[in-house]
Homo-oligomer: A and B are copies of this chain.
Amino acid sequence: MTNTAPSAYRPLRSTGRILMGPGPSMVHPRVYEALSRRLDGHLDPEFLQIMNETQDMLREVMGTRNRLTISVSGTGSAGREAALVNLIEPDYEALVCVKGVFGARMCDIVERLQGRLHRIERPWGEVFTPDEVADALERHPGVRVVAIVNAETSTGAHQPVMEIGRLCREKDKLLVVDAVTSLGGTEVLADEWSIDVCYSGTQKCLSCPPGLAPITFNERALERIRLRKRKVSSWYLDMGMIESYWTDGKRAYHHTAPISMNYALHQALAVVLEEGLEARYERHRRCSRALVAGLEALGFRLFAQEGYRLPMLNAVWIPEGIDDARTRKLLLERHNIEIGGGLGPLAGKVWRIGLMGESAKRENVTGFLSALESLLYLAGARKEIGASLEAAARAYGEAS
């Protein structure tokens, strides 16, 4: 089986897209520069300092003072698993609020861990009221953990968390929040919202390539972990051991940190904080308003519940007569633009248009609208050109 003869040159063939799907998003040049930095080792004093700085910046972006605020060495999905695998053990009761793909995945994980799952549902695209969560907690008083998605990437729905957090704290439940798509694009205030464990991913509004999962555990969550009867079923994601590596003075080797990705996250967070969180959130809102105005001018309707729509993930119904796969293929091939299709039951029914981090730029909004409008025109679905760009310009507050 071994090939002893040197083989031909194998190039890496990739174009680099205008990324307007549900993630990954565009990446700032400084982050690419960080990625290509010559390595230090994972126990090098310089690298440990970079870890410390990353923790400080993550705390700022996540709105927390939690000591254990780190990056998990996997994608956002590893963050979800890290959150749940450390809290849940057999027969531990969890309430999971499901309104899309990612809530459903939390259920799957709880079941794999043999936790006792209580599941409440809202139609996809909608959000939960605090009362619905309160009712479920009345019905299931044994629940110890409540899990909910702040930004449902499969639907574009924006779930308010603050009141649910207050409720969970009052009733002494641990609250786990998925902020994969929201972090860095809309406000996430882990402490103020009484979140006990909050996780995210790097490739959405932090505009870093995929590969790490920011996560934070507060002291309540850590206390729960200390009281577990059994070891955490995952060695790789065991927060007790990972904590030792991230703690100055301990720095016990656990696994080799993904160094380049941690360099990238450091610079991605620096870019976020240099822009300023409020300015960044406002940029996402402005871009989304313009995009939505343009799409509505073309006859598209938004999918998610009004008043609860994410600026960075705009899900729209695909109008009758428009070929989903073909249109996305043409967007990619002719315009180099990636947008996302629907997941699960929404496949073929919605598009998910992302404006995440570096992707949330006016040039991308107008570039996408022009491209889409021209494709619709060529397909005979539009008689004229220009309506979407005018509507976007008006949304930007400019004379048409």
A binding-site residues for B, Cβ under 8 Å:
1-17, 19, 21, 23-24, 26-27, 32-42, 44-47, 49-50, 53, 57, 60, 63-65, 73-78, 80-81, 85, 105, 108-109, 111-113, 187, 189, 191-192, 201, 203, 209-211, 231-236, 253-261, 263-264, 266-267, 269-270, 273-279, 332, 338, 343
Q: A42–B22 Cα gap in the complex (Å)?
A: 11
In the complex, the answer to whether B46 meets A13 with C-beta atoms within 8 Å is yes
In the complex, the answer to whether B187 meets A2 with C-beta atoms within 8 Å is yes
In the complex, the answer to whether A258 meets B41 with C-beta atoms within 8 Å is no
Interface of A is mostly: loop
Q: A8–B57 Cα gap in the complex (Å)?
A: 12
Q: A105–B14 Cα gap in the complex (Å)?
A: 38
**A277 interface neighbour in B4, B50, B261, Cβ under 8 Å:** B4
The copy count of this chain in the complex is 2
User: What residues of chain B lie closer than 8 Å to A210, measured between beta carbons?
Assistant: 42, 256-260
Distance (Å) between the CB of A145 and the closest chain B CB? 16
**Closest chain B residue to A90 by CB distance?**
B114
In the complex, the answer to whether B2 meets A260 with C-beta atoms within 8 Å is no
CB-based closest 7 A-B pairs? A16-B38, A211-B258, A77-B255, A36-B36, A10-B270, A209-B260, A6-B276
Q: A78–B33 Cα gap in the complex (Å)?
A: 27
User: What residues of chain B lie closer than 8 Å to A254, measured between beta carbons?
Assistant: 77
Given contacts A7-B276, A9-B274, A77-B235, 11 further A-B contacts (CB under 8 A): A1-B65, A7-B60, A10-B266, A12-B266, A77-B256, A80-B236, A108-B235, A201-B256, A210-B258, A233-B233, A260-B261
In the complex, the answer to whether A3 meets B235 with C-beta atoms within 8 Å is no
> What are 23 inter-chain pairs, A to B, with CB distance below 8 A?
A1-B60, A1-B189, A2-B63, A2-B189, A5-B276, A6-B274, A6-B279, A9-B274, A10-B57, A10-B273, A12-B34, A12-B50, A12-B270, A14-B38, A17-B44, A27-B38, A33-B36, A73-B78, A74-B78, A75-B257, A77-B235, A209-B260, A258-B261
In the complex, the answer to whether B6 meets A273 with C-beta atoms within 8 Å is yes
A1-B192, A255-B76 known; A40-B14 Cβ under 8 A? yes
**A24 interface neighbour in B27, B253, B259, B269, Cβ under 8 Å:** B259
User: What residues of chain B lie closer than 8 Å to A269, measured between beta carbons?
Assistant: 10
User: What residues of chain B lie closer than 8 Å to A26, measured between beta carbons?
Assistant: 39
**A10 interface neighbour in B53, B80, B203, B264, Cβ under 8 Å:** B53
Q: A17–B209 Cα gap in the complex (Å)?
A: 24
**Closest chain B residue to A85 by CB distance?**
B234
In the complex, the answer to whether A16 meets B39 with C-beta atoms within 8 Å is yes
In the complex, the answer to whether B338 meets A44 with C-beta atoms within 8 Å is yes
In the complex, the answer to whether A209 meets B105 with C-beta atoms within 8 Å is no
Distance (Å) between the CB of A229 and the closest chain B CB? 13
Distance (Å) between the CB of A180 and the closest chain B CB? 9
Q: A7–B275 Cα gap in the complex (Å)?
A: 8
Q: A93–B255 Cα gap in the complex (Å)?
A: 26
**Closest chain B residue to A10 by CB distance?**
B270
Q: A272–B144 Cα gap in the complex (Å)?
A: 51
